[in-house]
Amino acid sequence: MILPSYKGSTLRGGFGHAFRRVVCAIKSKECPACILKERCVYSYIFETPPPPDTKIMRKYRAAPHPFVIEPPPERRRGYKPGDEITFGLTLIGRAIDYLPYFIYTFDELGRIGLGKGKAKYELMTVKTIPALAKGGRGDLETSGIIYDSKTKTLKTFIPQSFSISFNHSDSSPESPHSHLTLSFETPARIVYNGHLTIDLEFHILIRNLMRRLSLLSYFHCNSDPSVWDFKGIIKKAQEVKVSDRALRWHDWERYSARQDSRMKMGGFTGEIAFEGDIQPFMDLIRAGEVLHVGKGTSFGLGKYGIVRDVSE
Cβ contact 105:95 at 8 Å: no
Residue 91 lies in a domain: yes
CA 130, distance to chain mean position in Å, is: 15
Q: Are 283 and 204 in contact (CB under 8 A)?
A: no
Q: Is residue 81 part of a domain?
A: yes
Clarify whether residues 107 and 215 are in a common domain.
no
Residues 183 and 59 in one domain: no
CA distances from 150 to 52, 117, 121, 142, 157 (A): 43, 27, 15, 22, 19
Apex 302 CA angle, 299 and 308, nearest 5: 140
Whether 33 is in a domain gets the answer yes
Between helix 202-220 and helix 282-291 the angle, nearest 10°, is 70
Helices (H), 55-98: none
Host domain of residue 276: 169-311
Cα angle: 231, vertex 236, 241; to 5 degrees: 130
Contact partners, residue 285, CB within 8 Å, separation at least 6: 180, 182, 209, 278, 306
d(CA 79, CA 57): 43
Instruction: Examine residue 251 and state whether it is found in any structural domain, yes or no.
Output: yes
Residues 238 and 306 in one domain: yes
Q: Strand 125-128 vs strand 261-264: parallel, antiparallel, or unpaired?
A: unpaired
Give residue 162's pLDDT: 72
Q: Classify strands 178-188 and 304-311 as parallel, antiparallel or unpaired.
A: antiparallel
Q: Does residue 178 share a domain with residue 79?
A: no
* C-alpha pair distances (Å), 172 with each of 167, 206, 232, 278: 11, 20, 14, 12
pLDDT for position 310: 62
In this structure, the answer to whether residues 224 and 100 fall within a common structural domain is: no
Let me know whether 293 and 215 are in one domain.
yes
Q: How far apart are the C-alpha atoms of 273 and 306, rounded to whole Å?
A: 10
pLDDT value for 200:
98
Examine residue 134 and state whether it is found in any structural domain, yes or no.
Answer: no
Please report whether residue 42 resides in a domain: yes
d(CA 257, CA 266): 19
Cα–Cα distance measured from residue 184 to residue 289, given in angstroms and rounded to the nearest whole number: 10
Strand partners, 182: 272, 306
Evaluate whether residue 132 is within a structural domain: no
The answer to whether residues 304 and 180 belong to one domain is yes
Give yes or no: residues 119 and 173 share one domain: no
Domain co-membership, 112 together with 17: yes
Among 123, 148, 177, the domain boundary falls at 123
| List of long-range contacts for 59-63, beta carbons under 8 Å, 24+ apart | 61/32, 63/215, 63/219
Residue 112 counted as domain residue:
yes
CA atoms within 13 A on the CB side of 86: 8
| Judgement on whether residues 173 and 304 belong to the same structural domain of the protein | yes
Which residue, 61, 90, 123, sits at the end of a domain?
123
Inter-residue long-range contacts of 141-149, CB under 8 Å, 24+ positions, other chains counted: 147/103, 148/124, 149/122, 149/123, 149/124, 149/125
Report pTM. 0.89
Distances (CA, A) of 173 to 25, 169, 285, 308: 60, 12, 22, 23
CATH number of the domain to which 270 belongs: 3.30.70.1900
Listed residue (282, 291, 268) closest to 135, CA to CA: 282
pLDDT in tens, the chain (312 residues): 888 889 999 999 999 999 999 999 887 778 888 888 888 999 999 999 998 888 888 888 889 999 999 999 898 999 999 999 999 999 999 999 999 999 999 999 999 999 888 889 999 999 998 765 444 555 555 468 999 999 999 998 888 777 776 655 444 444 555 899 999 999 999 999 999 999 999 999 999 999 999 999 999 998 888 888 999 999 999 999 999 999 999 988 776 666 666 778 899 999 999 999 999 999 999 999 999 999 999 999 999 999 976 654
Please say which residue of 123, 141, 158 terminates a domain: 123
Contact 102, 126 (CB under 8 A): no
Shared domain for 119 and 23, answered yes or no, is: yes
Is the same domain home to 119 and 185?
A: no
Q: How many CB atoms lie within 10 A of CB 153?
A: 8
Number of separate domains in the chain = 2
